């Protein structure tokens, strides 16, 4: 099997042909499965792409989830993650959110990090972006936050809170 897997899809059917998985049977996913239960019900190297929009923050163990995404995605495949930035009020307002992530959260899984011995799952960072609410009115903040992400997160995130983070990670096996 090759193709796209939409994790925690809910009612999202925006990706034609994607296999949808969700723990809520009422959303009629292709596969009903709780993503906190491992292993996930897919063979190794089953997918070319995984989409995880607003799901990773709900999971108990981000490291285990990333390792599972690595396992079921073929070498060179893409993992697309969208999650609230930790400075976004929505990150804390939703009582089902277990994790609050930042710009550097997925460096853990790339080469050259100081924590590489905790997980063998490796990805190449293809894209990461801090996004702000509003297409144009927050363009200067978005430019600044993405140009100087460490400075933004250390000094300005609580003054000018972001909205979302977007990551594209290439699987390296």
Structure-token match 């697309």, residue found: 80
Residue 80 parent element (H or E): strand 73-84
The phi-psi region of residue 112 (left if phi > 0; otherwise alpha if psi is between -120 and 50; otherwise beta) is: left
pLDDT at 1: 55
pLDDT at 137: 86
pTM of the model: 0.94
**Number of domains within the chain:** 1
pLDDT in tens, 58-104: 999 999 999 999 999 999 999 999 999 999 999 999 999 999 999 99
Q: How many CA atoms lie within 13 A of 75 on its CB side?
A: 2
pLDDT at 83: 98
Tell me phi and psi for residue 100, to 5 degrees.
Answer: -130, 115
Mean pLDDT by groups of 10 residues along the chain of 173 residues:
89 94 97 98 97 97 97 98 97 95 94 76 96 90 98 97 98 97
Residues 6+ apart with CB under 8 A from 143: none
Range of the domain at 16: 4-172
Q: Residue 75 sits in a domain of what CATH number?
A: 3.40.50.150
């Amino acid at each position: 099997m090759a193709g796209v897997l939409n994790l925690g899809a809910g009612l999202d059917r925006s990706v034609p042909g994607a296999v949808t998985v969700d723990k809520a049977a009422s959303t009629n996913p292709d596969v009903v499965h709780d993503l906190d239960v491992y292993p996930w019900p897919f063979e190794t190297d089953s997918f070319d792409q995984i989409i995880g929009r607003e799901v990773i923050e709900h999971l108990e163990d981000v490291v285990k989830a990333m390792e599972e995404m690595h396992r079921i995605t073929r070498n060179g495949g893409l993992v697309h993650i969208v999650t609230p930035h930790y400075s976004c009020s929505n990150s804390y307002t939703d009582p089902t959110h277990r994790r609050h992530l930042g710009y550097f959260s997925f460096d853990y899984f790339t080469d050259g990090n100081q924590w590489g011995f905790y997980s063998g799952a490796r990805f190449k960072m293809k894209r990461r972006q801090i996004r702000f609410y509003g297409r144009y009115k927050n363009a200067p903040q978005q430019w600044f936050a993405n140009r100087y992400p460490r400075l933004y997160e250390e000094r300005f995130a609580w003054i000018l809170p972001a909205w979302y983070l977007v990551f594209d990670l290439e699987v390296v096996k």
